[in-house]
Structure 1
Amino acid sequence: MTMRKWRQGGVVLGVALWLAVCAQAEITQWLVGHFSVQPRQGELPSGWQPLEFEKIKEHTRYRHIVDEEGRAVIEAHSRGGSSGLVRKEEIDPVRWPVISWSWKVDRVLAEGDATKKSGDDYPARLYITFAYDGDQVGIWEKVKFNAIRLFYGEYPPVRALSYIWANKLVRGSMAANPYTDRVQMIAVESGAEHVGSWRRASRNIVEDYRRAFGQEPPVISGIAIMTDTDNTGSEATAWYGDIVLSDQ
């Protein structure tokens, strides 16, 4: 082999190694909610869609805006209504165990109460839903899940974690949703101390799922944000910044 070919081979190898290092560096984070991108008039960020409920007629209004501080965010305004924005995506929680985000609210809900159906409203929350896994349900629950699949054409989520901005729960505490214990809520923020200020949050999904359900998490089926006031008939506005998944 000539010296020239040796040099060419060295260059090719060097480029390949450089690309491999870059690729490795790029996959440590996943911007699943890229809300800081410049908004397009009347459009939602890529990959996100409305999440509405058949029995709730009044929906929360979501807008992709540039706020007064000059940052692009999702603004959610709810007046006695409920709906969300969701990104439906199959995600391996072992590969992406940590979720981080920022949010801000204009108030906490005076009549909100995480222990009662009548108080199950929050100015801001972030949901993580998990795909149906037959190993995580009993025989009668399997029958119910299969019936739902036959009727709707797909399985509903088997469980969910809901990270909330509460008004009464102790910060960091966990409580079952008053409608179903298949949704466990974690008070990432609580009370009015930080109302009007941007707050950053980071949670380990795998650890929270183990704590909530005593099992290993199945595949994530979606991530959603929601501002809802239908049960209390209240009004609230929230702002959501980027949502990032990472490997640590």
Structure 2
Amino acid sequence: MEPMNNRRRRTSLALLATPVISAFSLLPTPAARAESTGVARVDLPRFSAEPVGHRLPAGWTHQTLPSVERANRFDLLADDGRTVLRVLSDRSASSLALAKRIDPAVTPLLRWRWRVSNALAGSDLQRKVGDDYAARVYVLFDLPPERLGVGDRMKMAAARLLHGAELPAAALCYVWGTAQAAGESGWNAYTDRLRMIVVDSGKAHAGQWRDVVRDVAADFRAAFGDPLPLISGIALGADTDNTGERVEARFGDLWFEARRQTGGAA
């Protein structure tokens, strides 16, 4: 029988290999809609539009992990007059996943708000035992296999045998970390198909809402190069199964939007 600690430490890969990803090939590429500002925008199903309780917006699916004994708890609660997502992670891991095709060439900016109760003392993206984070936002990409080298194809084939055929070949993971400062990035301790980017770090801003905007197109190119593929889905969560800690994370609504033009037409 495989040791429990080895099964736990596959969390980052397993969080990506969720059954909801298999629906991506059935989804059409959504047309970005124009807001009153004239900026193209794609909203993800909004937490703020739902009543408080355990019912989540349509499209979001709680994905548990067979290799992790304890799952996170997800619910909606009121925070300063708005309904937000709450994630309770107590020596546990799981994710809330959404299958949605988005063209990052049209709407490259991802915006969201998050808040955590505390930083995780043992969180460290350079160590397998530290592969836990107070909050995570995954962006999954529909990267064609032919974009991979022979070595990477072999690694992906082995990983998909272990974690499922829907394991994406490229993903970004924005985290609230501890050991690394905000702005640092690196490959996940288990795979170089997952780029970890520290957005917030430590306890200085714990308990505060933080507004985040990331250029996912630029982040993808910095990690994987060109050409830029479609986004195939998003996943949210926190995980504490490796470090055995506890955290409460909250998320506001998420959406993609176009870059604003700063100059006149040439």
TM-score (norm 2): 0.78
> Which residue in the other structure is 2:55 paired with?
43
Extract unaligned runs of 5+ from structure 2.
1-32, 260-266
Specify the code of the residue in structure 1 equivalent to 2:190.
Answer: Y
Inter-CA distance 37–175: structure 2 relative to 1 (3 Å threshold): same
Are 2:130 and 1:103 equivalent residues in the alignment?
Answer: no
How far is 1:136 from its partner?
1.8
1:66 pairs with 2:66:
no
Give the match for residue 250 of structure 2.
239
CA–CA distance in structure 1, aligned partners of residues 156 and 129 of structure 2:
27
Residue 113 of structure 1 and its aligned partner are, at CA, apart by: 1.3
CA shift for structure 1 position 153: 8.1
Residues of 1 paired with 2:138 and 2:170: CA distance?
A: 10
Distance in 2, Cα, partners of 1:152 & 1:164: 22
In the alignment, what sits opposite 1:9? none
Instruction: Determine the structure 1 residue equivalent to 2:203.
Output: 192
SS in 2 for 1:83: strand
Contact in 2 for aligned 1:146/1:155 (Cα 8 Å) = no
Match of 2:237 in 1: 226
RMSD: 2.2
Q: Distance in 1 between matches of 2:90 and 2:225?
A: 37
SS at match of 2:252: strand
Aligned equivalent of 1:25: 35
Q: Which residue number in structure 2 is paired with residue 52 of structure 1?
A: 64
Alignment pair present for 1:161 and 2:172: yes
Indicate the larger mover: 138-147 or 182-191.
138-147
Q: Decide whether the 8 Å contact of 1:39 with 1:45 is kept in 2.
A: no
- Give me the TM-score of the superposition, normalised by structure 1: 0.83
Residues 1:90 and 2:88 are matched in the alignment:
no
Amino acid across the alignment from 1:64: L
Q: What is the CA-CA distance between 1:39 and the residue it aligns to?
A: 2.1
In structure 2, C-alpha distance between the alignment counterparts of 1:182 and 1:149, rounded to whole Å:
12
Q: Structure 1 residues 153, 53: closer, same or farther in 2, change over 3 A?
A: closer
Q: Would you say the 8 A contact 1:131–1:156 is kept in 2? A: no
Q: CA deviation at 1:216?
A: 2.9
How far apart, CA to CA, are the structure 1 residues paired with 2:155 and 2:180? Answer: 32
Q: Write the mapping of 1:202-217 to structure 2, written as runs, cut at 5 A.
A: 202-217=213-228
2:138 corresponds in structure 1 to 127
In the alignment, is the contact (CA less than 8 A) between 1:132 and 1:156 conserved in 2? no
Q: What's the CA shift for 1:132?
A: 3.5
Structure 2 CA distance for partners of 1:118 and 1:90, relative to 1, 3 Å: same
Q: What is the deviation of 1:59?
A: 0.4
Tell me, yes or no, if the aligned pair for 2:60 and 2:97 is still in contact at 8 Å.
Answer: yes
Which blocks of at least 5 consecutive residues in structure 1 are unaligned?
Answer: 1-22
* Matched length: 225
**Cα separation, partners in 2 of 1:58 and 1:24, compared to 1, 3 Å:** closer
Tell me what 1:12 maps to: none
Query: Who wins on radius of gyration, i.e. which is larger?
Result: 1
What SS does the corresponding residue of 2:221 show, helix, strand or coil?
helix
Residue 205 (structure 1) shift: 0.6
